[in-house]
Amino acid sequence: MSRSPARSRFLDLEPALESFAQSVIAGLSRPRKSLDSAFFYDGAGSRLFERITALPDYYPTRTEIGILDRAGAEIATVLGPGVQLVELGSGSSVKVRLLLDRLADPAGYVGIDISREHLRQACAALAADHPGLDVLALCADYMQEVPVPPPADGLPRRRIGFFPGSTIGNLEPEAAAAFLARWRRTLLEGGREPGGMLVGVDLKKDPALLLAAYNDPTGVTAAFNRNILARINRELGGTFDPHAFAHRAIYCAERGRIEMHLVSGRDQIAMAAGRRFAFAAGESIHTENSCKYTVPEFQALALRAGYRPERVWTDADRLFSVHWLSLR
């Protein structure tokens, strides 16, 4: 039987410019300045992050891919047939392909991201490689409440969230639990029967391994971190000199997280979104957290959010984990 041609749709909920400007103004107006790491991933930022994932010391991406490749058939059996797969942060779609290639007759794929260009390209390529699969590129901020349409056939489906890459670690634990609880409601709207969430979670380990992963000697991570300043310049009329800020990543043991900062190299003033911001030499902008968990710690968090932790897959060195959180 021949399959129907590729079907790719695009729905833009227009999340970017207003929310970006508001976030930048709010973050840089705080006594301890910060920027939201969700805005790292414009086109340039997404390309820089793809380079980071190939760096020798950056273990999370290749380790998670290895887990999904090795356990993919087992994971697909757990997820079940005929599901609508909703990926939060579409990235390059490498990981989701490992699932789609093994899922039994998936009803549809929804990629959600705020980076329009990257999202369009990734979903178009996915649709071309999976003829007959209903592919929806949904430009939205998945950290907020997002209305997810049903597949093109309109039938109720078991809805599965896919949140790889340990992006959940960018949120502090209570915010991560609230995020999962919010998506629980959306996943339950899928219809037919309760689905769940498949989440990639970085594990606690030797701090030396963590610091090496976020401080590469080639400067790619530094360029990725500084790109948010370049984005402010491009999109919000900013006047930042990105190279006047140094990249710094530290491990905060008491909070179990990596923190990324941009540290001002001198006293300086920069404009952004029509506002003026002063920086003292040595003052930092906190740009990202990456929280690490033990398996029991993350399972306890998922329980608080209303899920039932049912399965977890890890690599042999227990660097990374993939959790199946059921809504049953």
Contact 248, 284 (CB under 8 A): yes
Does residue 22 belong to any structural domain of this protein? Answer: no
pLDDT in tens, the chain (328 residues): 344 555 689 898 877 556 889 999 999 999 999 999 988 988 899 889 999 999 999 999 999 999 999 999 999 999 999 999 999 987 667 899 999 999 999 999 999 988 788 888 889 999 999 988 999 999 998 988 899 998 888 887 899 999 999 999 999 999 999 999 999 999 998 666 789 999 999 999 999 999 999 999 999 999 999 999 999 999 999 999 999 999 999 999 999 999 999 999 999 999 999 999 999 999 999 999 999 999 999 999 999 999 999 999 999 999 999 999 999 7
Residues 142 and 64 in one domain: yes
Does residue 229 belong to any structural domain of this protein? Answer: yes
Does residue 26 belong to any structural domain of this protein? Answer: no
Residues 141 and 286 in one domain: no
Does residue 137 belong to any structural domain of this protein? Answer: yes
Phi, psi of 89 (to 5 degrees): 90, 90
pTM, entire model: 0.92
Residues 163 and 142 in one domain: yes
Containing structural domain, residue 274: 31-37+207-291
Does residue 19 belong to any structural domain of this protein? Answer: no
Residues 172 and 94 in one domain: yes
Instruction: Burial-class residue 168 by CB neighbours within 10 Å (0-12, 13-18, 19+).
Output: buried
Annotate 127-186 with three-state secondary structure: HHHCCCCEEEEEECCCCCCCCCCCCCCCCCCCEEEEECCCHHHHCCHHHHHHHHHHHHHH
Residues 248 and 174 in one domain: no
Residues 281 and 298 in one domain: no
Residues 162 and 229 in one domain: no
Q: How many angstroms separate the Cα of 227 from the Cα of each of 99, 240, 270? A: 31, 11, 15
Residues 272 and 144 in one domain: no
* DSSP structural state of residue 197: E
Domain count across the chain: 2
Q: What is the CATH number of the domain that holds 188?
A: 3.40.50.150
Amino acid letter, residue 300? A
